[in-house]
Amino acid sequence: MFCGGTGLTKQHLWPDWLNDYVPRQDNHGNLKSESYFGITPDSATSYTSEPAKKVIQGSLGSRKLRQVCEGCNGGWMSKIEEGSKNTILSLMNQDEATLTRSQQFELVSWITLMTMVNEFTDLPMRAIPYRERQYLLIHRLPPSDWNIWIGRHQQGQSEDWTQMNGHHGYLVASNTGEERGLSEETTNALRKDRLALPKNVQSSTFCIKGLVLVVLSSVDPAIKGELAKAVYPDMVKIWPADPGDIIWSQIRAVPDEEMQLRVDYIETILKNYVDRMNAQTTNAQA
């Protein structure tokens, strides 16, 4: 996954030590969907699958993947998880914490690692290229054009969002020509078999014991700019880095009924972008 090494070992999706702090559940939520914008037979339309919300047996902390080598798993990946442990626990417990810049760097490293590993639970929807996984391996930080937010979930309601893992893959037409990888041949292939084509945008949403994480990234230069302008209500953007400390108690805790809005917001961003591109094309042809 990261170095191309052999001798794959099982990697926990969430750190194993979470089992000591998060209430064990018989299952956890797993939310997935796929979307295509501006590249259907009628370029003004879009396609979005119904979100596939599944209940998976066991807690998030018990889920494992055999995708990383022993050297990575027991080396730098383990150091990232242990280095962010105290910060993660403080945020999950809704402590009166101040998140310093150094803690934010530790946290984004862990969030990036988890996002990259989690993509391998949803292989047809992968959008993160190998070069970006190598960037984390070398620099221990996400690529500079990734976008990461953190927020709080209001606990004590239903268990639907107590342990939730969401991943969504998108294939979006843009105005960057062949850089987007959507030639006429590719578009025709899309109409025949959507799952066979690589995605160029991913959105990952995680919620566990009051801590909410949102990660957006794209390989398309134009779409990267759109994602960078996104604003998630009641969430704080911690990557790209901002120099200020974060007072955790000052962030509004989001209730259950607003959580799905956080998951769906990315589709509004992408649809508005494609509609704008379509309008510009129409005006240019007029």
What beta strand segments (E) does 58-123 contain? 64-69, 98-99
pLDDT at 240: 94
As a three-state string, the secondary structure of 113-166 is HHHHHHHHHCHHHCCCCHHHHHHHHHHCCCCCCCEEEEEEECCCCCCCCCEEEE
Neighbours of 163 (CB within 10 A): 25
| Average pLDDT score over residue span 265-274 | 82
Pick the range with the lowest mean pLDDT from 45-49, 101-105, 123-127, 233-237: 45-49
Q: What six digits make up the tokens of 130?
A: 């190998």
Who wins on pLDDT, 84 or 156?
84
How much is the average pLDDT of 10-31?
68
Residue 9 is encoded by which pair of tokens? Answer: 């070992």
Concatenated DSSP letters of 237-279: EEES--SS-EEGGGSPEEPHHHHHHHHHHHHHHHHHHHHHHHH
Average pLDDT over residues 98-107: 93
Domain ranges of the chain: 8-21+28-285
- Residue keyed to tokens 């070069």: 131
Tokens, residue 108 = 């984004």
For the segment 228-234, the average pLDDT, to the nearest whole number, is: 90
- In this prediction, residue 247 carries a pLDDT of 92
CA angle 155, 15, 26 (to 5 degrees): 55
CA distance 112 to 271: 25
Please report the pLDDT score of residue 63 as a whole number: 64
Contact between 112 and 213 under an 8 Å Cβ cutoff? The reply is no
pLDDT digits (tens, 9 = 90+) for 167-222: 888 888 765 433 344 556 655 655 555 555 678 899 998 888 889 999 999 998 88
DSSP bridge pairs for 8: 69
pLDDT of residue 41: 43
Mean pLDDT of the chain: 78
